[in-house]
Structure 1
Amino acid sequence: MNDARSTQGSVAESFLRALKQRGLDIVFANSGTDFAPLIEALVRLKEAGEETPDFMTIPHENLAMAMAHGYHRVSGKPVAVMVHVTPGTANAVCGLMNAQRDHVPLVLIAGRTPITQAGSIASRSAPIHWGQENFDQAGMVREYTKWDYELRAGQSPSQIVGRAIDIALNEPKGPVYLTLPREVLTNQDNNAAATPAPKIISAPEPNISAINKLAEWIARAERPVIVTSHVGQDIEAFKHLAWLADTFTIPVAENWANCVNIAASHSMSLGENATDFLSEADLILVIDSEVPWFPREFSPSPKTRVAHLGLDPLCVDYPIRVFPADLIIPGRSAGALLLLGEALEKQNAGHQISKTEGRRKAVQNYRNNRKKTLQKQLADAQKNKRIQGNYLGACLKEVVPSDAVIITE
């Protein structure tokens, strides 16, 4: 935007420009009277030929949040949702909880009931403008956001949008909440120059000394096992995990996975709910997993070493979460797995034939037995009058193309 239109106009126009300039290409919207200035600004910018985010009108806030969540999971991009003051925020809370737990960089934008009764073209003009105001509108979402703020008169929309997106994208990623008073949106913007975006927001890397210690433990272990739930959300980490598991013969259990972390056909894949295999482990490496097992059903032996690795291995947003831990390594999983592989190569861990061959046979036996069990369960399900989940899955497998994406909730 190099023409004069980029440096003048209303706060609402500058706000829309800032969203586009900071990489928010789509907004899933369910608006109300609070967003009239934004809708008018959107029309003006479109008529002027300026680029703006694409707005999709969604009939319910819960649906808008789910669509935004899915958009990010597919594209990897930050995303925005626009809702109507307090009622819209309340309707978005369930989706916001999901986004927070799944580390989605989502900007939840909510209108603010007009704060003036008179004196502005945007002052209160309907009875509901009194009834829907809160003392602390952001209070209902504060536990599920990394940051919340209200745009104020005289502030640069570009700076506020930039800070919101920077915080959302900073690891561990997560949602932020921004409220927009109607009076502020209608003001003339005297700070319309765009704020430069950081070219790189680097994720923290793990401590190399801790990685070397972990490599020593794995090299000495007879029966190491990796447990993960969502390391596969990072394609780089997905590749590193597959290589590490194969090269050093370390089986991988995907307990309560919310994505594909290792190919089911991988020789070291244990599949889900492999707690019976964990009971034999003398070292467990937990990577990106909030709940690696149910303590009421299984706990590692006191002699089993347990290490936790990930951007937030302690899950600090969880009020209570207690699992054994001999070593905790915060840091980006992709970088940690790469460094761990290099450290294990120095330990010559991939050439300890007596250990690796024994583990490979144990995993193969486990996979064979699991396959037989699943086949029997499938045969029983085919005879059942009620449709069973495993039978339905087998039917889908037969008809969907190889590149199909199946979503389950």
Structure 2
Amino acid sequence: MGNRYTTSSAFLEALQEAGVTHLFSNFGSDHPAIIEALALAEKEGKELPKVITCPHEMVALSAAHAFAQVSGKAQAVFVHVECGTQNLGAGLHNAWKGRTPVLIFAGSSPYTQEGELLGSRNEFIHWIQDVPDQRGIVRGYMKYDNEIRTGANVKQLVHRALQIAESSPKGPVYLMGAREVMEEETTPIQMNTDLWQPISPRALAPKEIAPFVEDLRKAKNPLVITSYIGKNKAAVHELVKFCESLAIPVLESVPNHMNFPSTNLLHCGYQWNTPEQNALIEEADFILVIESDVPWIPLINKPSKDCTVYYIDEDPLKEGMPLWYIPSKRFFAADAETALQQLNAAIAALDVNQAEIVKRRTKVEAYHNEQRAKWAKAETYSEAIMTAEYVTACIREYCDENTIVINEGISNFQASYTHLQMSEPGSILGSGAGGLGWNGGAAVGAKLADPSKTIISITGDGSYMFSVPSSVHWLSRKYDAPFLTVIYNNRGWKSPKLSTLGVHPDGVANEMNEFFVDFTPHAELSKIAEAAGGAFARKVENPAEVKEALKEAIAAVRSGRSAVLDIYLPAIQEENKMKVGNEHATV
């Protein structure tokens, strides 16, 4: 047949032109033309994105997700028809809610069956996998979806899809194409990629700046709340400048990035499913919510009725959330970095009462220091009990400016963020959503995006099992992407237990200590990674062994071998009656 230039050839070229460097792929019977085009390119020495073979689709999408978070550039995920599309599962939710750009491509069953076109049906599965609306499977989680119908404009479709994916608010896009179309011969065309750039960042309307600044100037107890401003490292620096100028405290609500340096004296902690009123929120007379979906949970924890709230976000009305409202004086659809630059310029020209600012700074710093003293006390070593706080403080000793923490700690989110005390933009990442199992693929993706970083993944035993660790650690070894996993293992799903106690604190489930979340008999979780990827594996049941185990595991990772520490916290079924207290499940 010769060296044919097909729709698949043009498709792969377009990805390369657009800056996609990796194809996280799970190939199937719909991809012969793609595989031929990749093999031909390798034979001819033509540069195309690198194929990363992923034995599970959830791992593939999670890896692409974190790769984009670290690199700032969308990657591609290739899956097999509607079956592979459905196996992306919770990763679709994560990419959509986490505002992460990724291009997903799936083939579809051939639309001819008697050899009318090259690629016609020749396997029984082609009838089984023919469904009425394959794109409908993902439509609720995509910024854009389309079908490739010809090679004549496939490059335009790819560049348009990625332009949409990388425009704010960012998110996933989906393309599909039948075998016959992907096999179709076509004519090469040249694309000017300068004409397909993402939309420029949006700014505040100039007329809105003066009223905002005047309200801020009059405030006695202003507060900033954020969740994911840290996805843009430059925005973090602008937020620090903004807060330092007027001594404004910062609260991180449901964070999934390093949004404000924990060591900064204006940083006043974290909250998730906080079961009590936060004092800072209650006292505030002005709140700037910037880049946050859930700044507080109104049932228990909200501002006073006299507080002035302003909202700055890429999507300030949360149009993808059917039930959502945070009454605010103004909602601004704007890029956080751009908006803060505008506000900082306006504040610099203000004539402010320096004595008031000094007074407020003293009060906020006292709050910060008292809070940190409590945190330090919670980290105290105990021979009798393994605590998440102590384990996290030990991990902190190995975190420096070259460390990225992948955090899917779920019921230990509060402990992990609080006691890691990260201060470098980009140093800690979450999925931004609630689809469990992100951690493993994300760790591989982060390492591939920046091999110079030490990657530490924090996860619970439930989310570790969701992550398909056999696939993750095979991938880690094959593509030389070592990382450390620390499992906070309480031998069960603690979050459903906490949710039940939050609604029925004195209910029958608590009385009987039966929440149907117990993982017995216990699995040797670290051994999965050892068997699948040759990882260093160790179970740690004694608090006295934590520091030694971490030292060994970090040494293994730095030598090029992944490591898994399975650290046994108190088991769910061994706990007595619990109050929600300081424990927090994921939002």
TM-score (norm 1): 0.94
1:104-142 alpha-carbon deviations (Å, 9 max, x no partner): 110011111111112122011111111111100011110
> Partners of 2:327 and 2:399 in 1: how far apart?
41
| Residues 386 and 108 (structure 1), Cα distance of their counterparts in 2 relative to 1, 3 Å cut | farther
Question: 2:322 aligns to what?
Answer: 319
Tell me the residue number matched to 1:334.
Answer: 337
Q: Which secondary structure state, in structure 1, belongs to the residue aligned with residue 315 of structure 2?
A: coil
Alpha-carbon displacement from aligned partner over 1:133-178 (angstroms, at most 9, x marks no partner): 1100011110100110000035321111111111111111111000
After superposition, give the CA deviation of every residue in 1:35-59 in whole Å (9 maximum; x if it has no partner): 0110001111221221111110001
Q: 1:46 aligns with which of 22, 29, 42?
A: 42
Cα gap change, 1:388/1:145 in structure 2, threshold over 3 Å: closer, same or farther? same
Cross-structure match for 1:369? 370
Structure-2 separation of matches of 1:217 and 1:67: 43
Q: What amino acid does structure 2 have at the position aligned with 1:11?
A: T
CA distance in 2, matches of 1:276, 1:384: 34
CA RMSD in angstroms comes to 1.6
Structure 1 segments unaligned to the other structure (5+ residues): none
2:404 alignment partner, SS class: coil
The answer as to whether partners of 1:232 and 1:261 remain within 8 angstroms in 2 is yes
Task: Write the mapping of 1:249-328 to structure 2, written as runs, cut at 5 A.
Answer: 249-273=247-271, 275-328=278-331
CA distance in 1, matches of 2:19, 2:252: 33
Q: Give 2:29's aligned residue.
A: 33
The SS at the match of 1:214 is: helix
- Please tell me whether the aligned partners of residues 291 and 336 of structure 2 are also in contact (alpha carbons under 8 angstroms): yes
Q: Provide the C-alpha distance between the structure 2 equivalents of 1:396 and 1:122, rounded to a whole number of angstroms.
A: 53
Among 75, 78, 84, the residue aligned to 2:80 = 84
- Contact residue 114 and residue 182 of structure 1 kept, 8 A: yes
Between the aligned partners of 2:402 and 2:41, the Cα distance in structure 1 is 39
Question: What's 2:403 paired with?
Answer: 404
Q: In 2, distance between residues paired with 1:385 and 1:34? A: 57
Q: Give the direction of change, closer, same or farther, for the CA distance of 1:359–1:55 in structure 2 (3 Å limit).
A: same
In structure 1, which of residues 10, 27, 32 is the aligned counterpart of residue 6 of structure 2? 10
Name which of structure 1's ranges 122-131 and 201-210 shifts more when overlaid on structure 2.
Answer: 201-210
After TM superposition, give the deviation of residue 345 of structure 1 in Å: 2.1
Q: Distance in 1 between matches of 2:182 and 2:309?
A: 53
2:390 is aligned to 391
Q: CA deviation at 1:194?
A: 2.5
The alignment of Structure 1 onto Structure 2 pairs a total of residues equal to 398
Structure 2 CA distance for aligned equivalents of residues 401 and 331 of structure 1: 32
Q: 2:145 maps to which residue?
A: 148
Letter in 2 for 1:157: V
The answer to whether the 8 A contact 2:7-2:151 is kept is: no
Amino acid in the other structure paired with 1:360: R
Residue deviations 1:2-57, cap 9 Å, x none?
xxx9xx71111111111101111111000101001100011112212211111100
CA distance, structure 2, for counterparts of residue 56 and residue 187 of structure 1:
25
User: Which digits, 9 at most, give the CA deviation of each residue in 1:235-267, with x for residues without a partner?
Assistant: 111110111111221111111110111111112
Runs of 4+ in 1 over 3 A off after TM superposition: 399-402
Measured in 2, the distance between the counterparts of 1:239 and 1:400 equals 21
The offset of 1:385, in angstroms, is 3.8
Is the 2:227–2:255 Cα contact (8 Å) retained in structure 1? Answer: yes
Instruction: Say whether the 8 Å CA contact 2:226–2:295 is kept in structure 1.
Output: yes
Hey, what does 1:221 align to over in structure 2?
219
User: Per-residue deviation at 1:78?
Assistant: 1.0
Taking structure 2 as the reference length, what is the TM-score of the superposition? 0.66
CA distance in 2, matches of 1:353, 1:194: 59
Which region of structure 1 is more displaced relative to structure 2, 370-379 or 214-223? 370-379
CA contact (8 A) 2:247 2:266 kept: yes
Unmatched segments (≥5 aa) in structure 2? 272-276, 409-587
CA deviation map 1:317-347 (0-9, x unaligned):
1111111211111111101001011112222
